[in-house]
Structure formats: structure tokens, C-alpha cells
């Protein structure tokens, strides 16, 4: 479509709102993959009530979904506000961006102050399952340990409690040789570090775009309020 001079501001701002919607969809996708991904669901199902991993796992999913819905709603409200030149819709869009910002800052602080909590909780779960299998306490635990080894393509760990060859022979993937196998604790740590680095990068980008959205909606509100749009001056005739 062709934008007239009167429609210049909405047409220029639509790509920006599309970026917010794509960002919201990206966060929702990442949250869904994290919650339902094989690597994470294994530990969530195995972890005990005393372990904090299950709580973190569910909290991260709900936070990501709520954040993505807030960003998408803010983008839609901003688009409607620019088209209709509504102060009410603009204020609602600003409130959504501010709400997202107020949620992102504590999340970033938590990520910085509890950088190893998720990693430690996952390793605690693996240690628990591994030691129970080593003591032949549960055949069901042996099945869980085998599933972890297959998911992370690793084989056992270096244990200070004696020979572990019997455990690894029963639970490692077929064709996995002990000498060529990878320490599972190291594999879990590397996998989680890459995932958390990606999450933290997306978190930083979201904070930047959220601040940008708050600034844009503020200028739009004042522009509509004083009837002096920054992108246009004078009167326009519809042709």
C-alpha cells in the first residue's frame, strides 16, 4: 500500500511494532523449547521436591510466556494508538512496556546473582540418580540414568566412590566406549552454559527494545496531546 503524508507516522512505525511482535514470539518459542525440551524435562521429572530445579523450570516458562504476551500486546496497542491517534491506547501501550521492563530487570538481576543455581541443581539431580544406580537401589533409576546419557551423548562421571565401570556399561548408549565417552557433568555444564548465554543475550536485547518502546510511546502520547506531531505539520487534505 502507499502511505500518504497524513499516514506517514503510522506507516513508519509499523515495522518497529513488527519487531516487538517478533521479539515476543521469539521469547515464547524459547520458553516453550526450554520447558518441553528433552534435556530439561528429563531433569524436571527426576528432581525431588527438595531440589529447586523443578521450581525454576516452571517459573522460567510462565515468566517467558507472560513477557512475550505483554510485548505483543504493547506492540498491538501502539499500532492501534498511532492509527487512531488515541491517547488512551498510547498510555496502555506505555504501561505494557513499563510492566515488561519491571519484570525484566529483576530477571536480569536474578540471572547475575544466581548464575550457578540452575547448573548446581541439575548436577545434584544427576549425582543422585547416578549414586542410586551405583548402589543398585532402583532399577527405575537405571532407566532414568540411561535416558540422560542418551540425551546428552555422555557416559558416566569420575566418581570418588570406587569403580563405576559396571554402571556405565549398563547405562551408556550402545556403541559408547568408556574411554571415548564424555563426562556427563561436564557435558551438562557446557550445554547449560550455552543455553543460558543465549537466554541472557535475548534478555538484554529485550530490555533495550522495551526502553525504546517506552520512549516511543511517550513521544507519541505528547505528540497527540499537543496536536503537534513530530513527523508532520500543518493541515492535510484527503485525496
Domain annotation covers residue 223:
yes
Residues 168 and 156: beta-carbon distance below 8 Å: yes
d(CA 75, CA 81): 10
pLDDT confidence of residue 86: 82
123, three cell numbers: 548436577
pLDDT confidence of residue 216: 86
pLDDT confidence of residue 154: 84
Domain annotation covers residue 172:
no
Domain annotation covers residue 100:
yes
pLDDT confidence of residue 5: 39
pLDDT confidence of residue 128: 87
pLDDT confidence of residue 165: 60
Domain annotation covers residue 203:
yes
* pLDDT tens digits, 65-123: 999 999 999 989 888 887 887 888 889 999 999 999 999 999 988 888 887 888 889 99
d(CA 68, CA 24): 4
Measured on CA atoms in the order 32, 33, 34, 39, is the torsion positive or negative? Answer: positive
Domain annotation covers residue 166:
no
Best CA proximity match to 149, nearest among 170, 119, 128, 124: 170
Domain annotation covers residue 135:
no
Q: Which residues of the chain have pLDDT under 70?
A: 1-16, 137-138, 158-168, 173-182, 227-239
> Cell 531440589 sits at which residue?
51
Question: Under 8 Å CB-to-CB from 156, ≥6 apart: which residues?
Answer: 130, 149, 164, 167, 168, 171, 172, 178, 181, 183, 184
Domain span at 98: 7-128+142-151+183-232
Domain annotation covers residue 86:
yes
d(CA 134, CA 150): 18
Domain annotation covers residue 205:
yes
User: Total domain count for the chain?
Assistant: 1
Amino acid at each position: 500500500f502507499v502511505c500518504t503524508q497524513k499516514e506517514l507516522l503510522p506507516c513508519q512505525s509499523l515495522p518497529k511494532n513488527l519487531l516487538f511482535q517478533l521479539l515476543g514470539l521469539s521469547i515464547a518459542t524459547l520458553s516453550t523449547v526450554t520447558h518441553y525440551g528433552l534435556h530439561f524435562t528429563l531433569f524436571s521429572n527426576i528432581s525431588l521436591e527438595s531440589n529447586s530445579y523443578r521450581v525454576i523450570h516452571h517459573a522460567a516458562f510462565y515468566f517467558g510466556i507472560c513477557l512475550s504476551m505483554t510485548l505483543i500486546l504493547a506492540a498491538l496497542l501502539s499500532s492501534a494508538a498511532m492509527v487512531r491517534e488515541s491517547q488512551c491506547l498510547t498510555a496502555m501501550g506505555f504501561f505494557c512496556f513499563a510492566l515488561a521492563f519491571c519484570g525484566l530487570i529483576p530477571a536480569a538481576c536474578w540471572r547475575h546473582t544466581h548464575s550457578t543455581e540452575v547448573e548446581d541443581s541439575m548436577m545434584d539431580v544427576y549425582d543422585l540418580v547416578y549414586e542410586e544406580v551405583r548402589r543398585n537401589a532402583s532399577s527405575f533409576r537405571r532407566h532414568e540414568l540411561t535416558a540422560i546419557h542418551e540425551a546428552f551423548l555422555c557416559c558416566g562421571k569420575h566418581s570418588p566412590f570406587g569403580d563405576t565401570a559396571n554402571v556405565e556399561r549398563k547405562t551408556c548408549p550402545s556403541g559408547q566406549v568408556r574411554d571415548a565417552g564424555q563426562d556427563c557433568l561436564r557435558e551438562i555444564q557446557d550445554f547449560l552454559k550455552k543455553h543460558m548465554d543465549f537466554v541472557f543475550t535475548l534478555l538484554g536485547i529485550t530490555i533495550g527494545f522495551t526502553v525504546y518502546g517506552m520512549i516511543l510511546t511517550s513521544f507519541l502520547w505528547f505528540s497527540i496531546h499537543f496536536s503537534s506531531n513530530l513527523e508532520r505539520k500543518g493541515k492535510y487534505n484527503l485525496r
